[in-house]
Amino acid sequence: MTTAAILEKLPYSAPFLFVDTLEAIDEQQVTGSFTFRPDMEFYKGHFKGYPVTPGVLLTEVMAQIGLVCLGIYLTGGPEGVSFGLTSTHVEFMRPVLPGEKVTVTGEKIYFRFGKLKCRVTMINAQGETVSSGEIAGMIVHPANRNS
C-alpha cells in the first residue's frame, strides 16, 4: 500500500487532519510530519500573548501518524476501518510554537486481536524530542461503531 493510499484512507479531514506527509512505512514503523500553521484557530486562546500548541493536539498528531497510519498499512486499509484510541502515555519535553514542523515516528510494540500498540516519538525541525510515549488503539469497523 502506498503512502498516498494511506493518506486517502485516513478518517479525518480539515480542520482535524494532522498529517501532511508520510516519509516511510513498513510492518514495524511509520514516519510522517505535520506543520502547525500560525493561523490555526486554537492559537488565539492558548495561551494569551504566548501561543503554544496544546498537548492534546500533539497527542492527536502522534496518534494519527504513529498509530492510525500504521494501522491502516497493517490491515490493508479496508474501506471505513479506523482505530479508536484505548490508551495513551505521553510525556512532553518541549513546546511546539505556531509555524513549527514536527516529525513523528511510530514503532509497533504489538498488533494482535485487533489492538495496535506503538511507541511514538515527536521531534522538531532541530531534531529535539518534543514528546514521546506509548499509544494504543482498537480497530473500529463501520458496522460496530454504534456498539
- Which residues are catalytic, by number? 46
CA distances from 147 to 42, 72, 122, 136, 144 (A): 32, 21, 33, 20, 5
The answer to whether residues 104 and 31 touch, using CB atoms and an 8 Å cutoff, is: yes
Rounded to an integer, what distance in angstroms lies between the CA atom of residue 83 and that of residue 34? Answer: 20
Give residue for cell 509555524: 99
